[in-house]
Structures are given as C-alpha cells and as structure tokens.
Amino acid sequence: MSGTMKINLFAGRIGSWRTVALSVVLLMCRPASMYGAQDAQAGPAPLRVAIVGVEHGHVEAFLRALPQHKDVTLVAIVEGDQALAKKYEDRFNLSPSLFYPSLEAMIPAQHPQALLVYTSVGAHRKVIETAANYGISVMVEKPLTISLDDALAIRKAAREHHIHVMVNYETTWYASNRAAYDAAGQGQLGAIRRVVAHDGHQGPMEIHTPPEFLRWLTDPAQNGAGALYDFGCYGVDLMTWLMRGETPLTVTAVTNHDKPEIYPRVDDDATIVLAYPRAQAVIQASWNWPFNRKDMEVYGATGYAITVGADQVRVRFQNDAAEQLITAAPLSAPEDNSLDYLAAVLNGQIESKGDLGALDTNVVVMQILDAARESVRTGKTVRLAKLPE
C-alpha cells in the first residue's frame, strides 16, 4: 500500500463519530435542572462561561472568536485591576456589567458552568482551588501550573470536588499533530524511538507582547521559568501524549541567557532531553528563533512523521520509495477547538483522560517541567518515578 493511501486511512479515522458527538453535545449544553428548561424549537442553551483574569494575552483570541460560538455565553469577567479591565472593556466594546473584582463576588451572582483562566500561570492553583469549592470546572491556558506540588494540589482539589480541569494548548488543535499521533498509534511508524519538538518565537519583547503579559512572563515566580516553561511545555505535552502518559526515566535540561539585557531574570533558550526505556525526546524551546515555529518530528523503527505547521505532515513509511508531503484531515467537532471540547467534556460526551488537555497528562507534564528546572539548577540529570495515583 502506498504512503498516500496509508496516510488517508489514519487521517480519515477522525471521521463521522465526532459529528454525531457534537450533535449530542449541543443538545445537552446546559443542564435544565440548573438553569431552567429550554424550548426545543429555540435550540440548545449556551454554555455559561466566565473569564478569570485578562493579563494573559491569549484572552484576546478568545474574545475575537466569541461571536462565532453561539453555543457559548460569556457571563462575566473577573479582573481586580480596574485599569486593565477598562482597557479590555474599551477594546472589545464589552459591557461594564460583565466585570467583577473577584471570584467570590462573581460566582454567586452569575453561576457559570466553567471558568476560562487567563491569569499568570502562578495564579492557576488558587483559581482552581477556589472554583473547586464551588463545584465549577476550569480550563487554563498552558501549562497547568508552575510546580509539581501545585499540580498535585490541583489534582487533589479536582478529585475531592468532582470537577474537570483542562489545559488549553494551541497545538492541541493542530490536525498535523493528530495525524502523527494516529500514524504512531496504528503502527505505521513502528515503535517510537525519537521525538524532536521545536517551539517558540523571536521573544515576547521582540513580538511586542502587551506589558501586563510581559510582566509575568519574565517573572520566574509567576511563569515558573522563561522559555523553559513557556515553550518547553508544548513538546513535553506532546511527548507525554505520544507515550500514553508514561513517565520518563530521566530528565536532563540546559538553558541559555542569550539576551540577558532583555530577559535578566529568566532563561530565553532551553533544551530538555527525556529518556524512556526504548525512546528519547529532545525538546527545543526558545525565545530566540528567527520566526515563530511549532513543529514536531516523530521517528519510529519503520517510518517517520514530521509535522509542518498546523495541517501538513511529511511522512515516509516502510517500503516507501520517498518522503511525501500530505495534508492532514481536518479535526472534527467537538475536538477541533477548545470551547467545543470543553462543552463535550462537561456534558460527558468525551472523557478528558490521556489526551493533550487532560489533567492526568498535565500532571505528568508538570513532573517533567519541574524536574527540568531542577536539572538546570543543579547541572545534573534528574531521575523520575511514576507518581502515585
């Protein structure tokens, strides 16, 4: 069978069951027992979400996309900085009545079904633990938090209060990554031997990151590190997914301060090496790339898949005469964007387990990132063991 035929097989499997799942999700988007019955003729009730914090620049993408998501209603924004709240109110023509100074003031007034967290990474634990006390599920921007201790505390809160905690990565919604994953899962690459991930850009200062975002990105107490955490998390997340949640045997990391005059407090370039019993990952994270990139190379015993942007893959399988560049099949709802995914998880249509955004995956991600930071600090390789359940 040719490489083209094979890639069509694994890309095509993302198929029609997701369309069916989306239909069910949209019919169950809000529990009638909580918010009142919905007229069947009027369509499904939208998912009630609240934003927490606007100092994370990714919130702008959400606010721009919101008009296209009729199945989601933004009921509140929590932001204690009045000047920052006013900036977003004016920029996006938002009603002042949306804004609240704290979670404790907003939740009893608006009863959101989920929180979308755009605070500093260092604030994630506090927000999640507060949400858990109210029984509200949470989606945070990557990474989950800044330490393994925080990650375990978040897992404990989620379990005790029966909430979902999910992590949103841009690369989760890349069809190219799904195609590479499916190729590996279906045995087209053979056993995974090596993964190389490249993630980053020219640097947050260089790409004109807003000041409120830059402030905490370059603060190790709020971001965990610099490029090591900001972009290292992408490759670690992808490798943990590819390895079905397996904990690596060792973590070794090195960082550079190539631009100390711009980033005096945090690293701006990092390499993380993960060793497994029969596989290895090299994760290159940087604020020093000459351009933005997020790509991954997956090498197996009998083939390889190299992602090119969000929707293309270079592949070569066993017995293929040459490499081919293919376009990956588009992801299907509800697994093609963060909001549909969130709704599907909350309504029990998808189990958030073992995937790129799942809490179990991301606790392992934090174990690895925490070990990478320790490896940098000590100059030594860190050995890991599987975390207790």
Q: Residue 252 — left, alpha, or beta (φ > 0 → left; ψ -120 to 50 → alpha)?
A: beta
Q: Predicted confidence band at 42 (pLDDT cuts at 50, 70, 90)? A: low
pLDDT digits (tens, 9 = 90+) for 336-377: 999 999 999 999 999 999 999 999 999 999 999 999 999 999
Domains, the chain, in order of start with CATH, read 15-170 (3.40.50.720), 171-331+351-383 (3.30.360.10)
Q: Are strands 114-117 and 137-141 parallel, antiparallel or unpaired?
A: parallel
* pLDDT, position 71: 82
Confidence of residue 44 (pLDDT cuts 50, 70, 90): low
* DSSP for 27-96, written as a single string: HTSS-HHHH----GGG-PPPEEEEEE-S-STTHHHHHHHGGG-TTEEEEEEE-S-HHHHHHHHHHTT--G
**What is the average per-residue pLDDT within 105-117?**
98
β-pair type (137-141, 165-168): parallel
pLDDT at 11 over 80: no
SS3 state at 166: strand
Sign of CA dihedral 182, 187, 192, 196: negative
Express each pLDDT in 263-314 by its tens digit: 999 999 999 999 999 999 999 999 999 999 999 999 999 999 999 999 999 9
Q: What percent of the chain has pLDDT over 70?
A: 89
Q: Averaged over 229-255, what is the pLDDT?
A: 98
Alpha helices in the chain (DSSP H): 3-12, 16-27, 32-35, 59-65, 82-91, 103-110, 124-133, 148-161, 175-185, 211-217, 220-223, 227-230, 232-242, 338-346, 359-378
CA 216-221-368 angle, to 5 degrees, is 105
Q: What is the pTM of this model?
A: 0.89
* 3-class DSSP assignment, residue 342: helix
> How confident is the model at residue 38, as a pLDDT?
46
CA distance 136 to 75: 14
